[in-house]
Structure formats: C-alpha cells, structure tokens
Chains A and B, each alone.
Chain A
Amino acid sequence: MSTTSVKAWESIYFPKDINIKYGEKETKLKLKEKNQYIPRNKSRIMFLKFKKNKMAIIGLIIMLVLIFCGIFADFIAPQSYREQSLSLKNQGPSSNFWFGTDEFGRCILSRIIYGARISLKVGIISTGISVLIGIIIGSISAYYGGFLDQMLVMLMDVMWAFPAILLSLIIVAIIGASLNSVIIAIALSYWVQYARLIRGQILSLKNELYIEVTRSLGANDSTILWRHLLPNAIVPVIVSATLGMGSAIVTEATLSFLGMGAQPPTPSWGSMLSNGRNYLFIAPWSAIFPGIVTIITVLGFNLFGDGLRDILDIKMKE
C-alpha cells in the first residue's frame, strides 16, 4: 500500500486535534507496518530478537573470537605452538610473551590460540556425531514404539547410568589415547541426552493432528518422521547441543588433563593445564591462562545456547 493511504488511515484514526501521547514517529511506523505487506523474513525476526538478548550476544562474540582464532591461528599467533626456547622457560607475562612461557619456553598465548582449533574441532565434531546418533536412535525409538522402543530405552538407561567422563575414559582406554579417539569417546558418551530429548519430543508430537492429516494425505513413515516430526522436535536439541559443545570441550580438557587426550606437542587446553599444574608455584600463568580461557569458552557456549533457546521459538512474536 502506498504512503498516501497510510496518511488517510492516520487522519481517520488520529485526527490532528486529538493529542496523541506517544511519539508521532512511532505511530507512523506502526501504521505502515499494519497496512503494508512486508514479507516476513524468519531470520530477520530471529536476528532482531537475538539482538535484544545481551548475554547471548556476548556468548556469540566469544564463540566468533574462538572460531576466528581456530581458523586463522597460523596468522594471529605470535609464534608457532611448538617453537621452544629453553633459555626463556617459565617466564612470566611480558611484552614478548603476553601470557608467559611454559616449561619448554613455548609461548602460552600461541599455544592457547592453536588450542582453540583443537577445542573447536572436538566440540563441534563430537557434538555433531552424538546429536546425529541421538536423533536417529531417539526418533526411531519414539516413532515405532513397542519392543524396539523398550530395547532402545533400556540401552539409553544403561548408558545414562555412567557418568560421561567415566564412559569417555573407558572408551579412550579401549581404543587408545589420541585426539580422534577422544572425539569418538565424547560422541559415544553424550548421545543419550539428545536421544532422550528427541524421543520425548516425538512421543508427544506424533499424536498431533497434523501428523494424522499428513498421513491421511498419503505420506509414508519416513516422510512423516524426517520431514514433519523432526523439524518440529529439533529446537530443544539444537539448544542442548550448543550447551553440550561446552561440556564436550570440558570433557576434552579433562581427558587431556588426565593424559588420555591430545598427545604432546599438540596444544590442548586440558594438557596445558595438566602440565602447568606441575609448575604451579614457579610459573602459575602456565596453568591459569588455559584455565581461564576454557572457562570463558564454555561460558560463551552456554550463553549462546541460552539465547538460542529464546529465539528458536517457532511461534515468533514481534
């Protein structure tokens, strides 16, 4: 609709002799929106909603910085992560080495920047795998029900009974300590929470009327499950996965701390903490900085996940 009709509207509903309490600009904007058809852009509304959530923005910034560090570690790190200079070992933070040096004289800042790569890799890949396993097992279990469901739920309960760290430790111990086995171990110990989440969602959604209607239109099981049930059930899983990335990073750090994760000289935050612990009284920075970075990263993921929970509501209100 053109602006003239908007003005016509205004003159009908807001005659000039009546005092309008709220700002004129605001009224005009509101009227325009009512009269004009603006194609609703889902992502735009999401962005606007997200922008209001300051904590989520902080989380996003932390995540983006981390991703940036991970990708461009070669360019932004002042040194290589394996460059040793034994004459400069255990030095405190200085203008040359902002975060100090460790027991081999390696730049801790560089190692932390390179470590972001490891943490991100572990966080994203292992969470991705576990979400995938969780979605497949959870949705099949909920959709088909019956004996299969009972068996799968039993499996989930057994897995759920173990603490994730213990389970990861067992798996790493079986397949051998390396970064890849850490990823597999984390994926195999965290999938249950996603499976349970999606199972509950689909159990409640599969009795919805629109599923019956879809079926009455000739949809087969896989169409209903993957095209109609899953998109409706996925939102809490996405949120939970974002939060789960944080705990995957912590688990990786824990496993590395215990010497089960990335092997030296690969710079993992967990193994840096573990090594730094031995020099805690001589060079506390070699343990403190990796610890702080780990905390901030997990905090960032959690804040972002919380923000996601708010904006990924299907029935978005402006």
Chain B
Amino acid sequence: MSLLEVNGLKLRFHSLDGPVEPLNGISFQLKKGEVLGLVGETGCGKSITAKSIIKLISYSGGEIINGSIIFNKENLLTKPEKEMQKIRGAKISFISQNPMNSLDPVYRAGDQIIEAILAHKKLSYKEAKNKAVELMQLMGIPLPEKVFYQYPHELSGGMKQRIIIAIALSCDPALVIADEPTTALDVTIQAQIIDLFSKLIKQFQSSFLLITHDLGVVAQMCNSVAIMYAGNIVEKGPVRKIFHSPKHPYTKGLLECIPKMDWKQKKLNAIPGAVPHPRNFPIGCRFSPRCQYVMKKCLSQQPELIEIDNEHFVACFRYFNNSNGGRNE
C-alpha cells in the first residue's frame, strides 16, 4: 500500500523570458515505512518536487499544471490551503536544506519546538515543553534543558539541524521530506546527522523522502532510490539493484563519480557537461548530449520508464527492444 503517490507531476514557473517547465511528468510511489532517496545533480528538480508535495511551490512562484499527488488516498492538489495547513507539519513535515537560516532568530530553540507541537496538538504548555525536551534528548542534544533556552545564533549548525529535525518529528508525521539535510554541514557533523537519521528511521513509523546528491547517504539509509535528471526520473528501484546493476548511463556515471578506496587509477571519472537549464532542455532524451551510448533515436524521442526487472524501472532506449530484461549491454 502506498502512502504517497506522485503521478505525472508537471510544474511551470513564469519568468520574464516566458514560462519554464522544470519537471516533466514525475511519477513515483512511497510505501508506508519506506525510505526513498531522490538523487540527482544540482538543478535537476529535486527540491521543487519536494516543495510541490507539500504545495509550497506557489510561494516560490511555481504552479502545478498537471498530475496528482495522492497522500493517504487523498489528492493534495485539490485540497484548499486551509486543509493543507493542517497536513503540513502534522502529517507531512519538511526538513530544509540549510539549518543556518531555518530557525527564527527571535525565538529560543525550545520555544520553536513547542510552537510546532502546539500548532497541531492540543497540549498544555507544560506537556509540550516536556515533549520538546524529550525530543531534544532523542536527537542527541547534550544538555537539552540548556539548549532549550538558547537562541539560534548561539547554536552550532549541527545543533540547529538537530532542533529542526526535532521540530519536523514533533507531531509524529506519516511522511518526512528531508531536502538535503546534510549538505550544509561539516563532514563529521554530516556523519552524526546521518547516524541520527538512521536511528530515527528505525524508531519512528514514518516514511522518509530523502533528497540528496550523496549516493553514500542513500546506500546507507534508503530502501529504494529514484534517480532524477533534468526534470525526469531516469531510473528507480530498490537500493541494492540500483547500486549493483545500474542500468541508466546517468546512474552509472553518478556511481563512477564516487572515489573508491581500492582504486588504482589516479583520475576520477566525471560525467561531461552540466544539467541544461530548463529552457534549453533537448528535444529527445534529456541526457542525450552527455550520454556516451547516444543513439539516433535518443535525439528525437523521449524514453519512458519501463520495468526491466522486478520493481526496477529505467528510462533509456537501450532497454526498449528487449522488454523482459536489460541484457543487451
């Protein structure tokens, strides 16, 4: 049973040079208790996908023009803003990219957790405070009673991210969307936060949508992965399958970009080129200009996601002629 179902999501941003459509009909499912990693380069549409799910994209100037987002069997796109406010934070919560600016500088850390709790739950201030301190302990914050009374500028980045995670988990949401939760942190803090996340995933019943460009994080934490490129999902499936037998050339490229300990070669592989701007997307397969296996068909037509193995989907013409398994490599 899927908790979240995104079908054919299309966005439009209005810019001075005319409309831009950065997402090209994205579809994916998230089961209850599943941890899905959404991976891709900068600018491929991960964050706006996340923002669309909680319908915050309109505040960034975007507009959902097509598709449906079904959460708990209800289409969120038809819900009025008032009902969305009850869902945000309580059922779907969002952890943003940069912990440095995510907390309101004029309130104490603890009060911000309490505010999130009281916004959705009918508790007294004292109960909420106990819960907040409990949550802070759970997040591994040393001396939670002290941190409770500190202002955000007195806290370190890792500490702020812990507070933000505490806020996000304060109402036991069914779905947690984490938009690059470790990107802005030091490597050591990153490791701590990832450990914390792994612990929390086991402890909470929530599903997680983890947006990242760090494949190591995905391998450690996720059950399944969706690889995004230029507004498309190019490959999705269980983590093991993707990491052991990546099918799409982009996924392969991404995996080759990770330096390995036992490598003899001195130069790191890189995918040539960069993600095109949404205004200049190629007509055919959007990865075709950077793809080493590019065929004639790729330049004119867009491949669709096909299932080449159990729950393993790929959008690449190299697997089209042989529909019962990608063996023609």
Binding site for B on A (CB under 8 A): 37, 39-40, 208-210, 212-220, 223, 227-228, 231-232, 314-315
**Would you call B90 an interface residue if the criterion is a C-beta within 8 Å of the partner chain's C-beta atoms?**
yes
Known: A208-B101, A213-B96. 16 other contacts (CB 8 A): A40-B150, A209-B98, A212-B96, A214-B104, A215-B59, A216-B89, A216-B93, A217-B116, A217-B119, A217-B168, A218-B86, A218-B87, A218-B89, A231-B107, A232-B104, A232-B106
A216 touches B85 (CB 8 A): no
Within the complex, what minimum Cβ distance (angstroms) separates A213 from chain B? 5
**Would you call B56 an interface residue if the criterion is a C-beta within 8 Å of the partner chain's C-beta atoms?**
yes
Within the complex, what minimum Cβ distance (angstroms) separates B73 from chain A? 20
- B93-127 interface mask toward A, CB cutoff 8 Å, 1 = contact, 0 = none? 11011100111111100000001100110000000
**Would you call B131 an interface residue if the criterion is a C-beta within 8 Å of the partner chain's C-beta atoms?**
no
Within the complex, what minimum Cβ distance (angstroms) separates A254 from chain B? 37
| Most chain B beta-carbon contacts within 10 A, residue among A209, A214, A216 | A216
Q: Would you call the interface of chain A mostly helix, strand, loop, or mixed? A: helix
CB contact under 8 A between A210 and B101, given known A215-B88, A216-B56, A217-B167? yes
Within the complex, what minimum Cβ distance (angstroms) separates A303 from chain B? 26
**Distance between Cα atoms of A210 and B168 in the complex (Å):** 13
- B159-191 interface mask toward A, CB cutoff 8 Å, 1 = contact, 0 = none? 000001001100000000000000000000000
Q: Given the complex, which residues of A lie within 8 Å of B154, measured CB to CB? A: 40
A-B contact pairs, 28 of them (CB 8 A): A39-B149, A40-B151, A209-B97, A209-B98, A213-B96, A213-B102, A215-B59, A216-B54, A216-B56, A216-B89, A216-B94, A216-B96, A217-B88, A217-B94, A217-B168, A218-B85, A218-B88, A218-B119, A219-B85, A219-B89, A220-B85, A227-B115, A228-B104, A232-B104, A314-B105, A314-B153, A315-B105, A315-B153
Q: Given the complex, which residues of A lie within 8 Å of B90, measured CB to CB? A: 218
Beta-carbon nearest neighbor of A231 in chain B: B106
A-B CB contacts (within 8 Å), total count: 72
A210 touches B104 (CB 8 A): yes
Q: Given the complex, which residues of B lie within 8 Å of A216, measured CB to CB? A: 54, 56, 88-89, 93-94, 96
Within the complex, what minimum Cβ distance (angstroms) separates B120 from chain A? 6
**Distance between Cα atoms of A212 and B104 in the complex (Å):** 11
**Distance between Cα atoms of A217 and B112 in the complex (Å):** 11
**Would you call B146 an interface residue if the criterion is a C-beta within 8 Å of the partner chain's C-beta atoms?**
yes
Q: Given the complex, which residues of B lie within 8 Å of A215, measured CB to CB? A: 56, 59, 88
Within the complex, what minimum Cβ distance (angstroms) separates A216 from chain B? 4
**Distance between Cα atoms of A223 and B80 in the complex (Å):** 18
**Distance between Cα atoms of A232 and B106 in the complex (Å):** 6
Beta-carbon nearest neighbor of A315 in chain B: B153
Q: Given the complex, which residues of B lie within 8 Å of A210, measured CB to CB? A: 101-105
**Distance between Cα atoms of A92 and B254 in the complex (Å):** 93
Within the complex, what minimum Cβ distance (angstroms) separates B117 from chain A? 10
B119 touches A314 (CB 8 A): no
| Most chain B beta-carbon contacts within 10 A, residue among A40, A213, A219, A315 | A213
B94 touches A40 (CB 8 A): no
**Distance between Cα atoms of A210 and B163 in the complex (Å):** 13
Beta-carbon nearest neighbor of A235 in chain B: B106
Q: Which 4 pairs between the two chains have the least Cβ-Cβ distance?
A: A218-B89, A217-B89, A216-B94, A218-B88
Beta-carbon nearest neighbor of B153 in chain A: A315
**Distance between Cα atoms of A59 and B72 in the complex (Å):** 62
**Distance between Cα atoms of A223 and B112 in the complex (Å):** 13
Q: Given the complex, which residues of B lie within 8 Å of A227, measured CB to CB? A: 115
- B44-70 interface mask toward A, CB cutoff 8 Å, 1 = contact, 0 = none? 000000000010100100000000000
User: Which of B85, B94, B106 contacts A213, CB < 8 Å?
Assistant: B94
- B2-13 interface mask toward A, CB cutoff 8 Å, 1 = contact, 0 = none? 000000000000
Beta-carbon nearest neighbor of B100 in chain A: A209
Beta-carbon nearest neighbor of B146 in chain A: A37
**Distance between Cα atoms of A214 and B59 in the complex (Å):** 13
**Distance between Cα atoms of A40 and B108 in the complex (Å):** 11
**Distance between Cα atoms of A214 and B168 in the complex (Å):** 10
A209 touches B101 (CB 8 A): yes
Within the complex, what minimum Cβ distance (angstroms) separates B171 from chain A? 9
**Distance between Cα atoms of A208 and B153 in the complex (Å):** 15
Beta-carbon nearest neighbor of A233 in chain B: B106
**Distance between Cα atoms of A212 and B106 in the complex (Å):** 16
Beta-carbon nearest neighbor of A216 in chain B: B94
**Distance between Cα atoms of A207 and B87 in the complex (Å):** 22
Within the complex, what minimum Cβ distance (angstroms) separates A304 from chain B? 22
**Distance between Cα atoms of A40 and B153 in the complex (Å):** 13
**Distance between Cα atoms of A200 and B97 in the complex (Å):** 26
